Every structure is written in structure tokens, then in C-alpha cells.
């Protein structure tokens, strides 16, 4: 049966608009091909699995990755680490966050952002997101205390935070800025690569991210001092290899990226621009295909601080209520179009602070208590402490923009969106 002969929504028993469901949303992961295979085999055959030495004379893949990554970002330094979380913990140490220091981060981010602050001994302070679904500069200003050390803008779902406003708040208050770019690798703000605007930028190469080595992370900075501290923290033996003065030495850990992962990440880095271009093209088509109905119904899209720098991994629009967002999402899923609200009170989703139970309850690894024992003032956590964020996220309908969508998939998605929004918005 074709669309023309069956105008019912799929949820009412009609034929789904999309013949095929979304391909898996692993942009870089799905692009893995012979180039990655060759790169891994090259490392295995050289037997140089460790960045500093092996039996032969081959060049370190981690070193090559750092050089290439820094160059693509226009940053002075890049350091390869084992995960995005490791990048954040390292970056926090590098900018001098320590016991009792407060770090302001958004209500909407993967729990790792807050966990990294706690791991550095810092105190996560949660601020509201605005219609960008990213850190609200006005609420950040409200949440600053005499003990605030840093702000952590997190560029969620591919798009940039309002960096001019956030940098101004940081500058006025003498705060450091650590950008979490895990979900927006390749994005930019006013022509500058995300991750290079604050004091330090932290990336993830985990499998869901735009490009991937399965696990992995990168830290970028323009500051020689931050780079030295990053280098020393992520690698306890770095000082033995570097030419720092003895009096500068600090004791780090081991978050060094393995050569096999670096080999994969180097190939994936080459794929980044192409993936973003493919997603941007599809997002433009989708948005213009539903423009008439969204305008007529007064539906608003998520605000973008810089639409030109959006990586386009997602398309988000707001409904009037969480119930409407749920109903539209359900109807879209029946059409074989992946969609869902960004917050539901039930279930566990570590992307929203209200679900960060171990943080909200200040659970510690020992009876002596976690970082909160170092807090210099009373810090209150409540699941409802950022009501505006919960409202916005609950009303937001989120869709992935998959680079593997064919023209036919995109046309069918537009058809399904138009019919669902016409009926339910
Ligand atoms: C916003 C954000 N920050 C940090 C992380 C942590 O990265 P990783 O899983 O590589 O440790 C992730 C992803 O998992 C993330 O989405």
C-alpha cells in the first residue's frame, strides 16, 4: 500500500512513512573500512604497541594523532588519552581544579562531566540550560560563589554553547573554562573550532561519537602551561621524557592512548569533515521539508548559538508539553523515524542531572566522604533544582541526523514528519 492510498498515521494502523528504520547512529563507526584495517595491521606488524618504544623504528601513532588533531583544530597542543572522561579529569587538573573547587556545569550533559569534577576533588554545581539546551550564561552568573574555579560548557548533540556570553562571565569573574566537546567534534563557534575557545578542550572518541576509535579522548589547549600539566597528569613518566625543570614536576597517572587506538583515530580524523558535510546536507533537507508545517503550527526548533558551526548530528524541536512531545515521538517511531524526548522522569538516563543519583546523594567511595567533605559552603542538590531545564528537555523532540540516510530515506522522513506534525502538533 502506498502513502497516497493510506493517509492514516502508522500509529493508527497506516503504512509507515519510512520503509527502512534508521541505520545505526555511529557516524564514524559505520564508516570503518579498509583504511582503518590497514592502519591497525601496520601497528600490529611493527609490534610497536606502546607509544614510546617498540622493537623497530616506526613513528608513534599517538604522536602523529596529536599533531594532526591540533592542526585540524588550529590549537597549539593536543594530547591523546584513553577516554573523554580521562580527558576531562586531566583537563581539570591541568587548569588547577582541586579539592573544594566548584565547577559550574549544565543540567543536561552525560554524567561523566560531573563525575570528572568529583574525581578531581571538585564540587559539581549544576546550572540551567536555555533554549539551546546548553549552559545558560545568565544562570551560570547566578551560580557563581567565591569558591567557583571554573565553568564547563558542554556542547551537547553537536551544537555550540553561547561561548561569547560564557567567556564574558568567566572573564569578569576570573574563572577558567573547560569545554566538553565529546558530542560536537568538528563543530565551531564564530569560525573557531569548539574546544579551542576556553582554556582547555576535551573530546571523546568513544563509539557513539562523530569519529571514534571505540574508546579514546583528546585534550587540546593553546597554553604551554596547561599543556605541560596535561602532559604530566595523563602520563606519570612524561616528566622523565620532557625537559621541565625539576621544581615543576607533578605526579600524574596513566591515561596514555594505546597505539592501536591512535592508528584508528588518525584515519577517522580524515573522515570528520565528510561526515559533518553529509549530516549538514541531510539536516538542511529535513528542516526545509518541514518548514511550512512547523511555521504554520508555531513549532520552535532548538536555538543554535552558531548555526554555521553546527555539526548537524541532531534535529530538535519543542512541543508545548511533555505529553505532546511523547505523543509526537511515539507517532514518529511508528513511522520508523527514530525520535524521543530528552528527559523522562521515569527510568535512568544519565544525560540529565535529575538522574545523577550518585552525585545528587553525594555517594562516596569510603566512609570518609567524597569531594563534598572539602566543600567550602553548603551545596544543595535536589532532583528539581533546575526546573527550566527539565521542562525544556521534557518538551524537546530529538532526532538523530544520520549521515547514512539516503535521499529516499530523507524524503520519507519528511513525509512522516509532515503527517505526524499536521495531526498532532
Ligand atoms: C558530553 C559528554 N561528556 C563526556 C563523555 C565521556 O566520554 P567517554 O565515554 O569517552 O569517557 C561523554 C560520552 O560518553 C559525553 O557525551
Residue 103 lies in a domain: yes
Ligand 1 atom with minimal separation from the 83 CA: 10
Residue 343 lies in a domain: no
Segment 316-322 mean pLDDT: 98
Write out the residue range of the structural domain in which residue 49 sits: 34-269
Residue 333 lies in a domain: no
The rounded percent of the chain whose pLDDT value lies above 90 is 94
To the query of whether residue 149 is one of the catalytic residues in this protein, the response is: no
Ligand 1 centroid to residue 308 C-alpha, Å: 24
Residue 90 lies in a domain: yes
pTM reported for the whole predicted model: 0.97
Tens digits of residue pLDDT in 191-208: 999 999 999 999 999 999
Of the pLDDT bands very low, low, confident and very high (cuts 50, 70, 90), residue 243 is low
pLDDT over 70 (residue 5): no
pLDDT over 50 (residue 4): no
Number of domains within the chain: 1
Residue 64 lies in a domain: yes
Ligand 1 atom with minimal separation from the 204 CA: 10
Residue 341 lies in a domain: no
Tens digits of residue pLDDT in 186-195: 999 999 999 9
**What is the 3-state secondary structure of the chain?**
CCCCCCCCCHHHCCCCCCCCCCCCCCHHHHCCCHHHHHHHHHHHHHCCCCCCCCCCCCCCHHHHHHHHHHHHHCCCEEEEECCHHHHHHHHHHHCCCCCCCEEEEECECCCHHHHHHHHCCCEEEEECECCCCCECHHHHHHHCCCCEEEECCECHHHCCCCHHHHHHHHHHCCCEEEEECCCCCCCEECCEECCCCCCEEEEECECCCCCCCECCEEEEECCHHHHHHHHHHHECCHHHHCCCCHHHCCCCCECECCHHHHHHHHHHHHHHHHHHHHHHHHHHHHHHHCHHHHHHHCCEECCCCCHHHCCCCEEEEECCCHHHHHHHHHHHHHCCCCCEECCCCCCCCCCEHHHCHHHHCCCCCCCCCCHHHHCCCCCCCCCCCCHHHHHHHHHEEEEECCCCCCHHHHHHHHHHHHHHHHHHC
pLDDT over 90 (residue 143): yes
Segment 1-23 mean pLDDT: 83
Ligand 1 centroid to residue 39 C-alpha, Å: 25
Residue 345 lies in a domain: no
Residue 57 lies in a domain: yes
Is any ligand 1 atom within 6 A of the Cβ of residue 90?
no
User: Which of the residues 149, 209, 228, 283 is marked catalytic?
Assistant: 209
Q: Which of 104-113, 145-154, 237-246, 316-325 has the lowest mean pLDDT?
A: 237-246
Query: What CATH number does residue 91 fall under?
Result: 3.40.640.10
Amino acid at each position: 500500500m502506498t502513502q497516497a492510498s493510506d493517509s492514516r498515521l502508522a500509529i493508527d494502523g497506516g503504512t509507515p512513512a519510512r520503509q527502512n528504520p534508521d541505520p545505526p547512529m555511529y557516524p564514524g563507526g559505520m564508516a570503518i573500512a579498509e583504511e582503518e584495517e590497514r592502519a591497525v595491521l601496520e601497528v600490529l606488524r611493527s609490534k610497536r604497541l606502546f607509544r614510546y618504544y617498540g622493537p623497530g623504528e616506526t613513528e608513534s601513532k599517538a604522536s602523529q594523532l596529536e599533531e594532526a588533531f591540533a592542526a585540524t583544530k588550529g590549537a597549539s597542543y593536543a594530547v591523546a588519552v584513553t577516554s573523554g572522561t580521562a580527558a576531562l579529569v586531566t583537563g581539570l587538573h591541568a587548569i588547577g581544579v582541586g579539592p573544594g573547587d566548584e565547577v559550574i556545569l549544565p543540567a543536561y550533559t552525560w554524567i561523566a562531566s560531573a563525575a570528572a569534577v568529583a574525581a578531581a576533588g571538585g564540587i559539581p554545581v549544576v546550572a540551567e540550560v536555555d533554549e539551546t539546551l546548553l549552559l545558560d550564561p545568565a544562570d551560570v552568573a547566578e551560580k557563581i560563589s567565591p569558591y567557583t574555579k571554573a565553568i564547563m560548557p558542554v556542547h551537547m548533540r553537536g551544537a555550540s554553547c553561547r561561548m561569547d556570553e560564557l567567556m564574558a562571565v568567566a572573564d569578569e569573574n576570573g574563572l577558567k573554562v573547560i569545554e566538553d566537546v565529546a558530542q560536537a567534534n568538528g563543530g565551531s563557534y564564530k569560525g573557531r573550532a569548539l574546544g579551542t575557545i576556553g582554556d582547555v578542550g576535551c573530546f571523546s572518541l568513544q563509539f557513539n561519537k562523530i569519529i571514534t576509535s571505540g574508546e579514546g579522548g583528546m585534550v587540546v589547549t593553546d597554553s604551554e602551561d596547561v599543556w605541560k600539566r596535561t602532559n604530566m597528569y595523563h602520563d606519570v613518566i612524561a616528566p622523565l621524557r620532557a625537559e621541565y625543570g625539576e621544581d615543576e614536576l607533578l605526579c600524574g597517572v596513566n591515561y596514555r592512548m594505546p597505539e592501536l587506538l591512535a592508528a584508528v583515530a588518525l584515519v577517522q580524523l580524515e573522515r570528520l569533515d565528510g561526515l559533518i558535510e553529509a549530516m549538514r546536507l541531510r539536516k538542511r533537507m529535513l528542516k526545509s521539508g518541514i518548514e511550512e508545517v512547523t511555521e504554520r503550527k508555531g513549532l520552535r526548533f532548538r536555538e543554535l548559538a552558531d548555526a554555521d558551526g553546527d555539526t548537524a548530528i541532531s534535529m530538535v524541536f519543542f512541543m508545548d508539553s511533555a505529553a505532546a512531545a511523547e505523543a509526537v515521538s511515539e507517532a514518529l517511531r511508528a513511522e520508523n523515524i527514530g525520535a524521543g524526548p530528552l528527559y523522562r522522569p521515569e527510568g535512568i538516563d544519565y544525560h540529565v542531572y535529575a538522574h545523577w543519583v550518585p552525585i545528587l546523594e553525594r555517594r562516596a567511595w569510603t566512609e570518609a566522604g567524597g569531594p563534598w567533605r572539602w566543600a567550602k559552603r553548603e551545596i544543595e542538590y535536589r532532583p528539581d533544582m533546575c526546573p527550566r531545564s527539565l521542562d525544556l528537555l521534557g518538551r524537546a523532540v530529538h532526532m538523530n541526523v544520520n549521515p547514512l540516510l539516503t535521499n529516499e530515506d530523507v524524503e520519507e522522513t519528511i513525509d512522516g514528519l509532515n503527517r505526524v506534525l499536521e495531526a498532532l502538533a
